[in-house]
Structure 1
Amino acid sequence: MTASTEIRFPADVPHPFSPAGRLDPYPSYDWLRSRSPVHHDPMARLWLVTGHADCAAVLRDRAFSASAGQQGRARDEDLPPSMLTTDPPDHTRLRTPGLLLLGPAAIASVADGITADVDDLLDGLAAETVVDAIERIGSPLATSVFLRLFGLAESDRKAFSQLAQAASINLDPLAGPQVAALGRSAMKELTRFLQAHCATLPQNSHGAPAASSPLARLVADDRLTDAETLGVLGLAVVGGWQPLAEAIGNAMYWLLPRPEALTSLRLGGDELARTAVDELLRLEAPIPFTARVALTDVRLPGGEVPRGARVLAVVAAANRDPAVFERPNNLVLDRSPNPHLAFGGGPHFCLAAQLVRQTGAVLLARLAERFPAASLAGPPPGWASTLVPRRLRALPVALGGGDAR
């Protein structure tokens, strides 16, 4: 099969970036994946890659550059260097110390605290009848987790949450010039906030920041310059805070209309909760695609792309590829193996994956235990018109009376 520049969407299938397609892109993704999995799109002036094998190849093959993939947007040189805009070996040099902030050992060090954050949050909802899960669960929990990772005080909650929200504009690789400019401005403000916080960290007898949090351990490491460390911290917020918040809302959107799923989670223990997180991310990835540029002519399983092509690996489409996933549009809580691409792949595999999995599993297990009758309230929730992240405008939830604790 070769890529086609002749195929056009039929009248009854909206372009995935059109207003209708943004609300429900999956019919468009299915149509593309079955007819033109490596597709040159004249409207967007880029290549859309929708098959699982093709997306996996784009993410892992060094013939596709993440650095060049970001060059379609202006880059403010006053901002710290970022893993997002670098390729190996520079990317590897920045990423390895980043494990001190978001690697498995770092997340294990705050796991008990994350569990406490989840319990405190759900305790605060016990007397509520209906809540917006985005506003009252997803965003506040993401903020609590990052306060813990960064060693920020509770008094910093409002300022950090506002900065994280504003800087999340930078998630969208297709944002227009005005929106991108707002994103760069917000990133500068976030960087100043983080720089001021790092300067207040207590020091040990050797003059280095005491390792009281994952952030402090990263700052104490001497492999990165101060600017590079701030770049890692800023990317952790942009790539972690809102995707975590939206992943929680998206997961509840799929779970709550299915009482049997909540029952399974309540009875299945921590292992099923961990498996469920990956399945829910597969179905509704907050980051539905990522940009690359082909450094040379590349043959993919589904077709060829030419040198210089700007490519979107549409992982949201790959995650429902029937060639890889049985019943691809169904929620299968115990799906295993589950080779979804919601965290990307290759050198740029999401550094915050362990954080999302840990937080999500704890929340799902505790939610099913505390609010076994929780359900969606009101009319069907609507999806926001943004491309990235894939998110709900709101998610009213009837908690159904939690168990008293």
Structure 2
Amino acid sequence: MTTAAVRLPAGIAHPFAPAGRVDPYPAYTWLRAHDPVHRDPMTGMWLVTGYADCTALLKDPAFSAAAGQRERAREDDLPVSMLTSDGADHARLRAPGARLLGPAAMVQIADGVARDADALLERAGERDVLTDAVEQLGSPLATAVLARLFGLRDDQRAPFAQLARAASVNLDPLAPPPLARLGRAAMGELTRYLDAHTDQALPSPLRDFAADTRLTRQEMLGVLGLAVVGGWQPLAESIGNALYWLLPRPDVRAALALGTTDAAGTAMDELLRLEAPIPFTARVTVRDAELPGGRIPAGSRVLAVLAAANRDPAVFADPEQLRHDRSPNPHLAFGGGPHFCLAARLVRQSGALLLSRLVRTYPAAALTGPEPRWAATLIPRRLTSLGVDLNGTGTGTGTGTEAGRA
């Protein structure tokens, strides 16, 4: 670790500045190469960008997730969940959470989600051209997946989606106070909705989770709220981000269309590596901590920049390129260590299912309309909109040829 303050060179936008939010990768690349454990003069936080440093950080109990969440720009605490706890408390909450979001739960809802995806693509085909694939494919898929998990009726899906969208503000640990207040109000409304819903007759796996005696009622609702906030918008945006990279590449589309379920999952992992909706995760050091790239003192606010680690050339050959068959692919799009995202399988499997069906149903699908632009937001990493011509009759934009550049 360097002792003198290190600043980004002139001409490279800070990743939190407006231009850097749209395209943070030049800054991430420079920091990873020159100062992978970086004390940021602009924010006072430490930005950790190297893969080895991020993986070590995510496993080290010196970096507290609970304390990291308390640093959010809000006037109250988030509900108790795996996100806001560490150590034994985290493990106690996580075990029941796996009953709701783990592999067994996904097996139970897989057939229903496949039917939902087919119906979604059939409806999309009726309009031929999608003006925004996230709104017309990603968000409905995310709603369908959580509706299956929660046992929502068809008429409950639209109101639930509105609540999920509003509560997703809570994804951003650096949300400004006015936006954080809106997120707090939305989270309260979502919690009340879930409280009333879990008093009804429930399907498995939600029934088994809600009946788990290891959780208090408030803890159960906190984990449910985290499943919505951590699952709905990340899954929705992952579809748009993936299509941005996938559709301009006929060879990859063809391989995905002909491939197995495992091949689709491998491709989805690569798409998530390149453009994960959650680009970093927050921690606070509870004691002095030593990483491969340097030492961070106790009481420091730290961001593990997963998006930078996922393009580390020390781990990933051709890190800026889409290699749909990359294996192994130890990406950090879902974090790592004890706090590895419980919804990882939900996002990966559901996304792979929709994308593989899309390229088989619409093999000529292409990007269309205005050039896609990355939104000037920190979390989630998302496009402002993404037009898709399902039958490829228009002129594609030809985007996605560089490393996530706008």
Pairwise same-fold verdict (TM > 0.5): yes
The answer to whether structure 1 residue 369 and structure 2 residue 368 are counterparts is no
Counterpart-to-counterpart distance in 2, 1:140 and 1:370: 18
CA drift at 1:5: 4.5
The one-letter code sitting in structure 2 at the alignment partner of 1:360 is G
Displacement after TM superposition at 1:281 (Å): 0.4
Output aligned runs, 1:243-392, within 5 Å.
243-392=234-383
SS, match of residue 283 in structure 2: strand
CA contact (8 A) 2:48 2:305 kept: yes
Aligned to 1:156: 156
- Matched with 1:120 is 119
- The answer to whether the 8 Å contact 1:249/1:392 transfers is yes
Query: Are the aligned partners of 2:278 and 2:380 in contact in 1 as well (CA < 8 Å)?
Result: yes
Q: Give the whole-Å Cα distance in 2 for the aligned partners of 1:160 and 1:385.
A: 26
Quote the offset at 1:130 in angstroms: 1.0
SS at match of 1:192: helix
Instruction: Say if 1:3 and 1:40, in contact at 8 Å, map to a contact too.
Output: no
Q: For the Cα contact (< 8 Å) 2:7–2:41, is it kept in 1?
A: no
Q: Which residue of 1 aligns with 2:95?
A: 96
Which residue matches 1:231?
A: 222
Give the TM-score taking structure 2 as reference length. 0.94
* Contact 1:169 1:183 (C-alpha < 8 Å) held by counterparts: yes
User: Alpha-carbon deviation of 1:125?
Assistant: 1.5
- Corresponding residue number in structure 2 for 1:146: 146
Aligned partner of 1:33 in structure 2 is 32
Identity of aligned residues (%): 63
Unaligned runs of 5+ in 1: 202-209
1:127 CA drift (Å): 2.4
Question: Which range moved further: 157-166 or 323-332?
Answer: 157-166
How much does 1:401 deviate?
6.7
Structure 1 Cα separation of the partners of residues 344 and 55 of structure 2: 17
Q: 1:281-319 CA distances to partner (integer Å, 9 max, x unpaired)? A: 000010000001111111211111111111000000000
Counterpart of 1:398, as a letter, is D
Whole-angstrom distance in 2 between the partners of 1:107 and 1:67 = 28
Quick one: structure 1 residues 262 and 70, their matched pair in 2 at CA, closer, same or farther if it must change by over 3 Å?
same
8 Å CA contact retained: 1:5, 1:41: no
Residue of structure 2 in register with 1:86 after alignment: 85
Letter in 1 for 2:158: K
Query: What's the CA shift for 1:223?
Result: 1.5
Query: Secondary structure of the equivalent of 1:376?
Result: strand
Match of 2:28, SS state, is: helix
The residue matched to 1:126 in structure 2 has which SS?
Answer: helix
The reply on whether 1:109 has 2:108 as its aligned counterpart is: yes
Give the aligned partner of residue 51 of structure 1. Answer: 50
| 2-structure distance, mates of 1:254, 1:129 | 20
Is the aligned partner of 1:24 residue 2:34?
no
1:7 paired with 2:13, answer: no
The letter of the residue matching 1:110 is I
Letter paired with 1:21: G
CA deviations 1:126-147 (Å, max 9, x no partner) are 2222102111000011001111
Offset from partner CA, 1:9-54 (integer Å, 9 cap, x none): 1121000000100001001100100000000001011000000000
Contact 1:4–1:40 (CA under 8 A) maintained in structure 2 = no
Partner residue in 1 for 2:166:
166
Describe how 1:182-261 pairs up with structure 2 within 5 A: 182-201=182-201, 212-261=203-252
Q: Distance in 2 between matches of 1:213 and 1:154?
A: 17
How many residue pairs get aligned? The number is 391
Conserved in 2, the CA contact under 8 Å of 1:148 and 1:213? no
Measure, in 1, the Cα distance between the counterparts of 2:2 and 2:93.
35
C-alpha separation between the residues in 2 aligned to 1:3 and 1:226? 48
CA distance, structure 2, for counterparts of residue 5 and residue 83 of structure 1: 37
Structure 2, unmatched stretches of 5+, are: 394-406
Shift of 1:4: 4.7
Q: Counterpart in 1 of 2:136?
A: 136
Does the CA-based 8 Å contact 1:63-1:298 persist in structure 2?
yes
In the TM superposition, residue 156 of structure 1 has moved relative to its aligned partner by 0.9
- Deviations 1:174-197 (CA, angstroms, capped at 9, x unpaired): 112221111111100000011111
The CA deviation at 1:75 is: 5.5
Change in CA separation of 1:91 and 1:372 when aligned onto 2, cut-off 3 Å: same
Once the two structures are TM-superposed, the CA of residue 269 in structure 1 deviates from its matched residue by 2.3
